Structure formats: C-alpha cells, structure tokens
C-alpha cells in the first residue's frame, strides 16, 4: 500500500485549489523571469544548490520564485531534489526522513527517492520520523514550485532538528550526487524585527553566506544549521554563491513594524 503525506498548509500558506495555485505560480514565476531578463549575466548556468524562503506565498513567494526561475533550464537534467529545512513544530535530535512513499500537494504527488533511508544508513544522526513531517511547512511550500518548473523528480525530504553543522553537512554530502541532483535549503532569515533593523541583520547574514562563513548565529535564520551544512558543502566541491533576491515581509505585505527576512542565494559550480 502506498503511503502519502498529505498537505498540511494548503489553504493557508498557498491556495488549496489546483487552479488557483497554478495561477499564483504562473504569476510569481513570470515576474521572476522578467527580473532575470533585466540581468541576463547574473547566472549563466542553472545552480547546483539554492537557499530559498518558506513563508506563505503572499510574503516570500516573489523571492522564492526568483530561485525557481533559475532551475527551469535544468528541467531535462534534474531528477532528484534534496530539500533540507528546519522543523518548526516537533522537536527531535538529529535529522528526520519520512516513511511516506510520496508527498502530496494540490497539483499531485511527488514520489520520494526510493531507498534513500538505506542510502543514508551510514549517517547515524538520521532517523525516519513521521511526526515532525506531518505539520511541517518548510519543505511542503517548496513542492508546488518544483512540480511547476521541473519534470518528474524524486524527493529527498530532510528535516533538521537539534543537529550540528557537521551532522547536516554529512547528510548533504551523502545526497550530493551529480548533475541530476539539486539541493535546496529552505530557510527564512531574521524574524519579527523593525524594517530597518531587519535589513541590517539580514545584510550581515548574507555577507556571511556569500563569503562562506559559518556557523551562522542561530537567530539569524530559522534554517541556520541547514545553511551551515550547505556552506560546508560549497567549500568542499567548490560552489560559488550569489545573491539572487532579498526582501522582507515589509516589502511584500506592507507592514514594516515587525518583519521577516527572505532571500534566495544560488550556488553554482566553478566560476559559472
């Protein structure tokens, strides 16, 4: 019997009807394509890895779309996507996979990569834990974008609990693969600061990311440990980070008294 993890935040973080969700994705990606056309030399090749935000689409959707617009050109190549994000609701030690066979969205089901638990048996910090996955939005909100811009792909959903940067980096390295594998780190930046203070805090965080400095201060990003792991991988392979977009909820939703920061950072191989 096939086990499917059902959507937890459809209707809250993004539309629960497939037609409305499709319209949102079309609109967000078209805006991102227009922005990219204005700077065609920013990224000559699709990235190997991305940091993308994970709030509701009304807040972080425009920033997330700038990253997904970059990987459309790789739709014939990418066959597996490793999505690493923080667990917001259920605490646990280490990193968590899911026992499900697929994750569902209003657009359909995304199958999990077969045998991934066995592939990661050497990583003792990894367990199969469905409890943290059931309510979690950090991975789920990425799936409609992936379904829209890529062809059939397998998913490796990794939630980060109480884990060290080394533990996260080991899992990313074990899943690295070749050009068929894309790595996504799902993370927002600062939380609930006044607009000017948030912009300054995010500028410091992005400076650290773009110069491959870690560990990040824990309060700088909800996915700080996941970002640390990607930074270590970027130094090893090596990858070149570039800032694609940075906004706050004050830019997208209007209220600047207490905002959350969002950024997309692309990591490309070599000097691309």
Is 37 a member of any domain? no
Q: Does a structural domain hold residue 29? A: no
63 in a domain, yes or no? Answer: yes
What is the number of helices (H) and of strands (E) in the chain? 9, 12
Look up the CATH number of the domain holding residue 201. Answer: 3.40.830.10
One DSSP character per residue, 16-51 reads: SSHHHHHHHHHHHHHHHHHHHHTSTTS-SS--SEEE
* pLDDT for the residue numbered 270: 74
Enclosing domain of residue 139? 47-269
pLDDT at res. 37: 76
Whole-angstrom CA distances from 257 to 3, 53, 198, 254 are 43, 20, 10, 9
DSSP tag of 253: T
Q: What is the pLDDT of residue 45?
A: 83
Q: Which pair of tokens denotes residue 25?
A: 């994705």
Question: In the block, which residue shows the tokens 């050497």?
Answer: 122
pLDDT of residue 133: 98
Is residue 122 one of the residues assigned to a domain?
yes
Q: Which parts of the chain are beta strand (E)? A: 4-5, 49-52, 80-86, 95-97, 102-105, 108-111, 126-128, 154-160, 181-186, 191-193, 239-248, 259-269
How confident is the chain (272 residues) per 10-residue block, as mean pLDDT?
95 98 98 82 81 98 97 95 98 98 98 94 96 98 98 96 97 97 98 98 98 96 98 96 97 95 94 56
CA distances from 9 to 32, 114, 144 (A): 24, 25, 12
Residue 185 lies in a domain: yes
Tally of structural domains, the chain: 1
| 38 located within any domain | no
Beta strands in 53-170 (DSSP E): 80-86, 95-97, 102-105, 108-111, 126-128, 154-160
Q: Tell me the pLDDT tens digit for each residue of 237-269.
A: 999 999 999 999 999 998 999 999 999 999 999
Specify the DSSP element, H or E, that contains 8: none
pLDDT of residue 125: 98
User: Considering the domain boundaries, does residue 19 fall inside one?
Assistant: no
Pairwise CA distance, residues 236 & 241, whole Å: 13
Q: Is residue 152 helix, strand or coil?
A: coil
Rounded Cα–Cα distance for residues 260 and 188 (Å): 7
Would residue 130 count as lying in a domain? yes
């Amino acid at each position: 019997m096939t086990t499917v993890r059902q959507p937890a935040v459809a209707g809250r973080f993004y539309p629960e009807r497939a037609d409305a969700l499709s319209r949102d994705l079309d609109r967000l990606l078209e805006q991102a394509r227009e922005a990219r056309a204005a700077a065609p030399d920013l990224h000559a090749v699709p990235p190997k890895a991305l940091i993308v935000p994970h709030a509701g689409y009304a807040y972080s959707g425009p920033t997330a779309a700038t990253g997904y617009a970059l990987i459309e050109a790789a739709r014939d190549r990418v066959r597996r996507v490793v999505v690493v994000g923080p667990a917001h609701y259920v605490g646990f030690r280490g990193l968590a996979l899911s026992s499900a066979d697929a994750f569902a969205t209003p657009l359909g089901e995304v199958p999990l990569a077969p045998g991934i638990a066995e592939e990661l048996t050497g990583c003792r910090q990894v367990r199969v834990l469905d409890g943290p996955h059931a309510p979690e939005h950090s991975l789920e909100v990425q799936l409609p974008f992936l379904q829209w811009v890529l062809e059939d792909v397998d998913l490796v959903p990794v939630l980060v609990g109480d884990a060290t940067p080394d533990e996260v980096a080991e899992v990313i390295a074990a899943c690295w693969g070749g050009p068929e594998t894309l790595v996504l780190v799902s993370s927002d930046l600062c939380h609930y600061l006044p607009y000017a203070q948030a912009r300054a805090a995010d500028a410091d965080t992005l400076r650290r990311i773009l110069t491959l400095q870690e560990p990040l201060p824990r309060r700088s990003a909800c996915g700080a440990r996941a970002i640390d792991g990607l930074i270590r991988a970027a130094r090893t392979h090596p990858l070149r980070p570039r800032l694609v977009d940075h906004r706050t909820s004050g830019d997208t939703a209007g209220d600047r008294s207490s905002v959350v920061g969002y950024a997309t950072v692309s990591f490309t191989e070599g000097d691309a």
